[in-house]
């Protein structure tokens, strides 16, 4: 199955349309998993073939209706599109969080996150 087919499958499964900058990232890069200096944080953006399995394994739709995990920090934090709003913003959710109340806003788009991440890293609201 092609990356476009897998993305379309994920969109049907979750009832969403991913933002164009995310679609462009997947087409150009495919995924990301690396330490990002000088911020000193680790950033993961999952490959398209992991979208459905990761979200189903974590029961994301049950705990976070309207959320779709696309990556994280390589540990406990899940980088998640919040499709409860349009356009969908990106938030961090702890893997054990029960609901949206613990969401930590990160960026209004993937482009914004990628632009600021090397300097600022993750925003834990501290």
pLDDT for residue 58: 81
Residue with tokens 């690396």: 34
Asked whether the predicted pLDDT for residue 126 surpasses 80, the reply is: no
Specify the pLDDT at position 3.
87
**Per-residue pLDDT tens for 44-76?**
999 999 999 999 998 899 999 999 999 999 999
Measured CA to CA in angstroms, residue 56 lies from 13, 27, 69 at distances of 10, 23, 10
> Which CATH superfamily is 3-120 part of?
SMI1/KNR4-like (3.40.1580.10)
Residue 120 is predicted with a pLDDT of 95
Q: What Å distances lie between residue 40 and 35, 43, 73, CA to CA?
A: 7, 10, 11
| pLDDT tens profile 3-25 | 889 999 999 999 999 999 999 99
Average pLDDT over residues 91-120: 96
Give 34's pLDDT tier (boundaries 50, 70, 90). Answer: very high
Average pLDDT in the 70-89 region? 97
């Amino acid at each position: 199955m092609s990356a476009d087919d897998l993305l379309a499958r994920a969109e049907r499964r979750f009832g969403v349309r991913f933002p164009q900058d995310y679609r462009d990232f997947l087409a150009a890069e495919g995924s990301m998993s690396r330490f990002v200096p000088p911020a000193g944080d680790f950033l993961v953006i999952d490959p398209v073939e992991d979208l459905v399995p990761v979200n189903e394994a974590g029961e994301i739709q049950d705990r976070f209706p309207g959320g779709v995990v696309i990556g994280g920090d390589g540990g406990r934090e899940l980088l998640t599109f919040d499709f409860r709003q349009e356009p969908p913003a990106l938030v961090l959710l702890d893997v054990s969080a029960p609901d949206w109340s613990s969401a930590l806003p990160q960026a209004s788009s993937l482009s914004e996150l990628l632009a600021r991440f090397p300097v600022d890293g993750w925003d834990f609201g501290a």
